[in-house]
């Protein structure tokens, strides 16, 4: 119980910090970051993922061919996370996609590049392509390969 409460505090605190500096953050990144940090510990200034059941749920949906596509994930709104039934799969996919980016040292850079995009001169898709080096199809494939390696 204490641990779960702790996890929720970390989740909500992450939202509060993001809202303060990046109010129009994409919903997948907002929930993915908050969920990932809620499931992590900081050890010697490094984020250590404590693990949870979302990875096995995401892997199971990938094997069944039912994993949310990245294009669907990127379109989700904050309201859909909060109000749609079965939204756990949205949180799971967001968290595991953020972990994938973090493992490539691209999550922080992507966050800053989305945030510091004056006048929205670049689309988020263009930024994603520049930072990850993948077009959308290959980004999705690389994420799936990474997920299978986590099992
Ligand atoms: Zn949240």
Ligand 1 centroid vs 11 CA: distance in angstroms? 6
- Residues 76-120 have pLDDT tens digits of 999 999 887 789 999 999 999 999 999 999 999 999 999 999 888
CA of 35 to the centre of ligand 1 (A): 7
What is the per-residue pLDDT for 70?
A: 98
C-alpha span between 11 and 47 (Å, rounded): 14
pLDDT (tens digit per residue) in 109-149: 999 999 999 888 999 999 999 999 999 999 999 999 999 99
- pTM, two decimals, is 0.93
Could you tell me the distance, in angstroms and rounded to a whole number, from the CA of residue 31 to the centre of ligand 1?
Answer: 5
Neighbours of ion ligand 1 (CB under 5 A): 31, 34
39-51, pLDDT tens digit by residue? 998 888 888 888 7
b or e along 87-116 (b: 16 or more beta carbons within 10 Å of the residue's beta carbon)?
eebbbbbbbbbbbbbbeeebbeebbebbee
Q: How far is the CA of 99 from the centre of ligand 1 (A)?
A: 16
- Residue 3: pLDDT band by 50, 70, 90 thresholds? low
Ligand 1 center to residue 147 CA distance, Å?
22
Cα 142 to ligand 1 centroid, rounded to whole Å: 26
- Distance CA(27)–CA(103), nearest Å, equals 20
Q: What are phi and psi of 47, to 5 degrees?
A: -80, 120
C-alpha closest to that of 32 among 84, 76, 86: 76
Check whether 2 has a pLDDT greater than 70.
Answer: no
Confidence label for 1 from pLDDT (cuts 50, 70 and 90): very low
């Amino acid at each position: 119980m204490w641990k779960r409460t702790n996890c929720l505090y970390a989740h909500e605190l992450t939202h509060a910090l993001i809202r303060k500096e990046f109010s129009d953050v994409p919903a997948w990144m907002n929930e993915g970051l908050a969920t990932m940090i809620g499931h992590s510990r900081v050890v010697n200034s490094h984020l250590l993922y404590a693990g949870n059941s979302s990875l096995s749920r995401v892997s199971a949906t990938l094997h069944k061919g039912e994993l949310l596509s990245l294009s669907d994930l990127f379109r989700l709104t904050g309201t859909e996370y909060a109000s749609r039934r079965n939204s756990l799969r949205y949180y799971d996919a967001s968290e595991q996609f953020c972990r994938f980016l973090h493992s490539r040292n691209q999550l922080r850079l992507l966050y800053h590049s989305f945030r510091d995009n004056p006048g929205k001169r670049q689309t988020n898709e263009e930024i994603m392509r520049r930072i990850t080096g993948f077009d959308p199809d290959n980004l999705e494939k690389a994420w799936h390969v990474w997920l299978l390696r986590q099992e």
